[in-house]
Amino acid sequence: MEQAPWYLIDDVAQLDTPALVLYPDRVKHNIALLKSMIGDVSRLRPHVKTNKSREASRLLLEAGIRKFKCATIAEAEMLAMIGAPDVLLAYQPNEAKMHRLLALMKAYPDTHFSCLVDTITTATTLSELAVAAGLVVPVYIDLNVGMNRTGIAPGGAVLTLYSELDQLPGVRPVGLHAYDGHLRNSDLAIRTSECDAAFWPVQLLSETLTARGFAKPVIVIGGSPTFPIHAKRPDVECSPGTFIYWDKGYQTILPEQGFLPAALVVSRVISLPESSKICVDLGHKSIAPEGDLLSRVTFLNAPELKAVGQSEEHLVLEAGEGHSYKVGDVFYGIPNHVCPTVALYERGYTIENGLTTGEWLAVSRDRVITI
């Protein structure tokens, strides 16, 4: 007997669409694969921006992962709520976020919080607020290694800032942070060469700081594309995030990584607007509306369908003359970019053995949980 496709949901008639569905067995497979690729679990600091849920993050904790990275105060609080021991806010906080970060530190004293800075102005404000709160905030200098969005270029300015941070009360410099997400050549050899070139000045900074008498800086580096490369460096912490759910984009450009798609969007045909076209309930509000229209979603059970138009609630697809699709047909789509797609849903429904078994709330898609 032919085995049914892994993604099929036997009780899909009870599932309203559009819906985000999650496959916990595949999530666990991806976590196990991540650990096998690095060997030493203490060098993992996965980013939770992709999953945004307590349940998925707990699976990371249960796998022995103790360090985490996040982008928002809500994500940091979500991690603290489940008892994560070490949380890096990979963002330079403005003053409002500083107040919230310090409140988190007081509310969750068993979680070790830290954040990024790339300017003495920010660090000075943080220092003053931390002193007033009776706290010391560990900070990493954010380095710009080619993303050109935040951070400062590796060099003398970093050494100066590190020394200035060391003199400020209320903050404590502990390391360097660098995200090289622009390095995503599908040829691993080329990606490795580019990654090594971007990492070299970071390594040099670390060695220089150590030579000047500072404790050896912790280096937090990379994302999913460069994870297999940095995983081979014995003295860095790696912070991939997308691995937990994976998506079509990374599946295409990172063929050497064997993570499994573990999050899909389920949609239905809601109209037949023309003889060759169908319309499904997967608009801008239900799938990350970035990049080319043709690549935003790939339907596993209907890969030939081509998107020709999209609005807030609708996606129009070219199906060809004589197609057999009808209103009510169900499609299982893999997002091209899963992280912002997850952020569009307040919950993901878990699918186990073909059945809907529960839901994982994306609690940190909100900007505020309690703090």
My answer on whether 143 and 201 are in the same domain is yes
Q: At residue 224, does pLDDT exceed 90?
A: yes
Which pLDDT tens digit goes with each residue over 301-353?
Answer: 999 999 999 999 999 999 999 999 999 999 999 999 999 999 999 999 999 99
Which pLDDT tens digit goes with each residue over 206-221?
Answer: 999 999 999 999 999 9
My answer on whether 246 and 270 are in the same domain is no
Decide: 219 and 236 in contact? Cβ < 8 Å.
yes
The rounded distance, in Å, linking the Cα atoms of 217 and 227 is 20
Whether residue 3 is contained in a domain is answered as: no
Sequence letter at residue 14: Q
Q: Please, which pLDDT band fits residue 89 given cuts at 50, 70 and 90?
A: very high
Q: At residue 263, does pLDDT exceed 90?
A: yes
Whether residue 35 is contained in a domain is answered as: yes
Give the pLDDT score at 3: 84
Question: How confident is the model over 275-292, as a mean pLDDT?
Answer: 97
| CATH number where 142 lies | 3.20.20.10
Handedness of CA 349, 351, 354, 356 (dihedral sign): negative
Average pLDDT, the chain: 97
Q: What's the structural domain count of the chain?
A: 2
Element (H, E) at 250: helix 248-253
My answer on whether 176 and 223 are in the same domain is yes
Give the pLDDT score at 1: 64
My answer on whether 237 and 333 are in the same domain is no
Q: At residue 2, does pLDDT exceed 90?
A: no
My answer on whether 223 and 81 are in the same domain is yes
**CA dihedral defined by 269, 272, 273, 279, rounded to 10 degrees?**
10
User: Where among 203, 222, 250 does a domain terminate?
Assistant: 250
Q: At residue 196, does pLDDT exceed 90?
A: yes
Domain that holds residue 296: 12-19+262-365
The fraction of the chain above a pLDDT of 90, given in percent, is: 99
Whether residue 5 is contained in a domain is answered as: no
My answer on whether 44 and 90 are in the same domain is yes
Alpha helices, DSSP H, located in 47-187: 54-62, 73-81, 95-107, 120-133, 156-167
